[in-house]
Amino acid sequence: MEVRRQIEVSGIVQGVGFRPYVYRLATGNHLAGAIRNTSAGVSIEIEGPAETVEDFVVRLPREAPPLARITSVAVREVPCNGDREFRILSSRSGEQVRTLISPDVAICPDCLSELFNPSDRRYRYPFINCTNCGPRFTITRDIPYDRPRTSMSVFPMCPACQAEYDDPLNRRFHAQPNACWECGPRVELWDRRGRRIECRDAIAEAVAGLHAGLVVAVKGLGGFHLAADATNPAAVALLRERKRRVEKPFAIMVPSVATAQEICQLDDAARAVLESVQRPIVLLPWKNPSPIADQVAPFNRYLGIFLPYTPLHYLLLAEGGFTALVMTSGNLGEEPIAVGNKEAIARLQGLADYFLVHNRDILLRCDDSVVRISGGKTRQLRRSRGFVPVPVFLQEEQPPVLAVGGELKNAICLTKGKHAFLSQHVGDLENVESYNFFAEAVEHLEKILEILPQTIAYDLHPDYFSTRWALQQKGVQLVGVQHHHAHIASCMAENHLEGRVLGFALDGTGYGTDGRIWGGEALIAGYEDFERVAHLEYIPLPGSAAAIREPWRMAVSYLAHHFGRDFLALPIPFVRQLDRQKTELLLQIIEHQVNSPLTSSCGRLFDAVAALIGIRQQVNYEAQAAIELEMAIIPADDNTAYPLALISEGEHWLIGTRPLFDALLADLSSNVPAGTISRRFHNGLVERFAQLADLLRKQSGLNRVCLSGGTFQNIYLSEHLESRLSAAGFEVFTHSEVPAGDGGLSLGQALVAAHRLRSQRSL
């Protein structure tokens, strides 16, 4: 019996080779019908013998191309019309074809084998791509995603490319960036004054520079990298000096998983993430010895490592026979990554010796993404290239909201229907370039999503750039969201939770509703509101920002808080090594409460401990002390945990740190190694928060716990607390799609504002 079905597929199904895939699936089974793009995705009609049609419906989502992301498939019966062939139709005129843009994707295996095949017409062509791979987000000016709206519009296709583009059975059918040696973009090598260097092969010339220990700026997908030979200590040192980056680790790009395995400890999960189409930077334990120069990541037991993702990267690494190249963002300090050729020359002139550029414009900046792996799950540290603009899929439809995020590691978020779109990593809003990038990110996201939200959610911190920006917008409804409430809401949102939860929000800095700096918080929270049920006891933050840069100040603050000036007589190296004059000054500003706001920050507690045990007195990048404190842990069976007090204060609890410091000082006096002290400190936090969860469950009846905030990027802490809570019967929710740190903040802000808006409307 013949039947006909209409199938509506939504999700990311355009620009990913979906129509040719359906064409092949249909014609391969002698089915008739048609497919066309719609505003929601694609619409398919399929006709043939009932059994074959049913089989088609089952296989359709299962065998979809790798880049497709199907969110729903709706099938209904329609009358047969005697079709004998399967056709790809153009979109219905008049209907707006609006759909999700896919992220930038690493070169696929088919293109890679063509790249290195001497008989292929694209042999060694640095811009080879197909519907399964290549640039998307970063070359798209506007939607719908079609060649004229991308930076490929200036390259008319040659007849051979056009024929591929028009052939439904070709891998390059409607591949918008399709190009070849004949018709596409070209690579050139420039000197630091932007003059083209005459040479036969720009890539070979760049390779020669890298081998000579020079720094080469390389144009990638979402911006320029600064490249240097990672096995050459002098080259890495030169790059550090020029970039004015003292100790913050550099990421390295290696030619293959096999090389990654020589440098880092890899398991199957890590291998899969390294090879995934997103190609993030993965933090992995660094093997010792290794061929990589120590200067790549000083004082770090982990190394950020990733595989090539553009054909140009593959050519560079293969041509040069490099074991690894440092590939760090092309910028100075925390400025945004450079994207334009002229911009790169202007901004990176003093940093690079050569510029490997090309003429396919990058329309949108997008840094590399950074992940860690824990419990087999990918944890985002920086969610950017490869992931953006894939939305976070929400449980419920939400009104449109723009959430502007925090100050550091900023990313913004827009909600539309059941989707929350996080922008690429905008970075630290501390310079003019970053402000401009922030405004650019907002404008672009609003444009490609075609919404102009009338509600803006912002952080309560009055000095954040994003907050000030939000407060300047006219004719919109503004919703201030407390920092840690936003963290917990973010965790709830990506885990599709409704109702109320216990939330542990641990991080460095967040403005509290009492005007103090929070960061060691236990909340009972829903999207609309929250109650602060426990927090770390308040300690002065002597010198504010200076205390964040100089962990020794926090150690002194904690010691003075608990022991008064008596601590100066303690027989420990930390005290002996203190600069008397500076310490006296510090004690005075604490005692007179000058520029010493109170804080319950968990990050600052980590800083204090790191300083006390001699790991780090000053930091060169955000959270360095806490990161090195985690790295210092020596794994062992000893489950000793430093005690923390739980003090009832009316309605809520204070977590007291005095007993922790008593135990820690005793260990220090008896020369217990730093690695052991660090472990006992971590265990102490795990134990105390687990007990607190028990207590709060008894009080509130809540059994779901959300863990969020930058401190949970600490794998030891999050893994141990998670397993301890699970063992106690809690349902534990953590982040995997968005960062636990401030990079995921805007998702929570958006959801809080959306829920407040909805309840306002229903009143």
Q: Which residues make up the interface to Fe ion (CB under 5 A)?
A: 507, 742
CA–CA dist 759, 763 (Å, integer): 6
What is the β-pairing status of strands 598-599 and 539-540?
antiparallel
Q: State which residue, 311 or 512, has the beta carbon closest to Zn ion.
A: 311
| H helices present in 364-482, as ranges | 432-449, 465-472
3-state secondary structure of 496: coil
CA–CA dist 710, 708 (Å, integer): 7
Q: State which residue, 35 or 740, has the beta carbon closest to Fe ion.
A: 740
Q: Which does 507 bind (CB under 5 to 8 A by kind): Fe ion, Zn ion, none?
A: Fe ion
Nearest of 251, 260, 249 to residue 281 by alpha carbon:
251
Number of residues that bind Zn ion (CB under 5 A): 10
Considering the complex, what minimum distance in angstroms separates the CB of residue 718 from Fe ion? 15
Site for Zn ion in 262-291 (CB under 5 A): none
Q: Which does 732 bind (CB under 5 to 8 A by kind): Fe ion, Zn ion, none?
A: none
In total, the chain counts a number of residues equal to 763
Considering the complex, what minimum distance in angstroms separates the CB of residue 742 from Fe ion? 5
Considering the complex, what minimum distance in angstroms separates the CB of residue 201 from Zn ion? 20
Q: Which does 537 bind (CB under 5 to 8 A by kind): Fe ion, Zn ion, none?
A: none
Considering the complex, what minimum distance in angstroms separates the CB of residue 33 from Fe ion? 51
Do 350 and 161 meet the contact criterion of CB atoms below 8 Å apart?
Answer: no
Q: Which does 589 bind (CB under 5 to 8 A by kind): Zn ion, Fe ion, none?
A: none
Residue 152 interacts with Zn ion (CB under 5 A): yes or no:
no
One-character DSSP codes across 635-661 = --S-------EEEEETTEEEEE-HHHH
Largest CA distance in the chain: 95
Residues 6+ apart with CB under 8 A from 440: 365
Residue 335, CA distances (Å) to 332, 362, 508 in order: 6, 17, 21
Q: State which residue, 505 or 655, has the beta carbon closest to Fe ion.
A: 505
Structure tokens at 449: 């999503």
Nearest of 85, 80, 94 to residue 38 by alpha carbon:
94
For the four alpha carbons of 708, 709, 713 and 717, in that order, the dihedral sign comes to negative
Q: Which does 742 bind (CB under 5 to 8 A by kind): Fe ion, Zn ion, none?
A: Fe ion
3-state secondary structure of 276: coil
Q: In three state form, how does the secondary structure of 38-73 look?
A: CCCEEEEEEEEEHHHHHHHHHHHHHCCCCCCEEEEE
CA–CA dist 200, 470 (Å, integer): 52
Q: Which does 108 bind (CB under 5 to 8 A by kind): Fe ion, Zn ion, none?
A: Zn ion
Q: State which residue, 127 or 438, has the beta carbon closest to Zn ion.
A: 127
Residue 180 interacts with Zn ion (CB under 5 A): yes or no:
yes
Q: Which does 75 bind (CB under 5 to 8 A by kind): Zn ion, Fe ion, none?
A: none
For Zn ion, which stretch binds (CB under 5 A), given 130-138, 314-322, 570-578, 609-617?
130-138
Preceding omega of 389 cis (within 30 degrees of 0): yes
Q: Pick one of 64, 133, 283, 629: the residue that binds Zn ion (CB under 5 A).
A: 133
Q: State which residue, 205 or 275, has the beta carbon closest to Zn ion.
A: 275
Q: What is the dihedral of CA 67, 68, 71, 72, to 10 degrees?
A: -160
Residue 692 interacts with Zn ion (CB under 5 A): yes or no:
no
Considering the complex, what minimum distance in angstroms separates the CB of residue 49 from Zn ion? 34
Residue 434 interacts with Zn ion (CB under 5 A): yes or no:
no
Q: Pick one of 54, 63, 95, 182: the residue that binds Zn ion (CB under 5 A).
A: 182
CA–CA dist 186, 120 (Å, integer): 18
Q: What share of the chain is helix, strand, coil (3-state, %, to 5)?
A: 35, 25, 40
Considering the complex, what minimum distance in angstroms separates the CB of residue 749 from Fe ion? 11
Residue 106 interacts with Zn ion (CB under 5 A): yes or no:
no
Considering the complex, what minimum distance in angstroms separates the CB of residue 133 from Zn ion? 3
Q: Which does 130 bind (CB under 5 to 8 A by kind): Fe ion, Zn ion, none?
A: Zn ion
Structure tokens at 675: 């690695």
Amino acid residing at 396: E
Q: Which does 277 bind (CB under 5 to 8 A by kind): Fe ion, Zn ion, none?
A: none
CB atoms within 10 A of CB 128: 29
CA–CA dist 67, 461 (Å, integer): 39
Q: Pick one of 108, 281, 325, 381: the residue that binds Zn ion (CB under 5 A).
A: 108
Nearest of 638, 634, 642 to residue 675 by alpha carbon:
634
Nearest of 419, 371, 414 to residue 396 by alpha carbon:
419
Q: Which does 236 bind (CB under 5 to 8 A by kind): Fe ion, Zn ion, none?
A: none
Considering the complex, what minimum distance in angstroms separates the CB of residue 152 from Zn ion? 11
Which residue's Cβ lies closest to Fe ion?
A: 507
Q: State which residue, 391 or 508, has the beta carbon closest to Fe ion.
A: 508
For the four alpha carbons of 419, 420, 425 and 431, in that order, the dihedral sign comes to positive
Considering the complex, what minimum distance in angstroms separates the CB of residue 42 from Fe ion? 40
Q: State which residue, 335 or 507, has the beta carbon closest to Fe ion.
A: 507
Considering the complex, what minimum distance in angstroms separates the CB of residue 510 from Fe ion? 5
Considering the complex, what minimum distance in angstroms separates the CB of residue 409 from Fe ion? 9
Q: State which residue, 368 or 507, has the beta carbon closest to Fe ion.
A: 507
Element (DSSP H or E) covering residue 508:
strand 501-511
Q: Pick one of 183, 208, 460, 695: the residue that binds Zn ion (CB under 5 A).
A: 183
Considering the complex, what minimum distance in angstroms separates the CB of residue 105 from Fe ion? 31
For Zn ion, which stretch binds (CB under 5 A), given 174-182, 355-363, 402-410, 585-593?
174-182
Q: State which residue, 667 or 737, has the beta carbon closest to Fe ion.
A: 737
Q: State which residue, 507 or 667, has the beta carbon closest to Fe ion.
A: 507
Where on the chain is the footprint of Zn ion (CB under 5 A)?
Answer: 108, 111, 130, 132-133, 158, 161, 180, 182-183
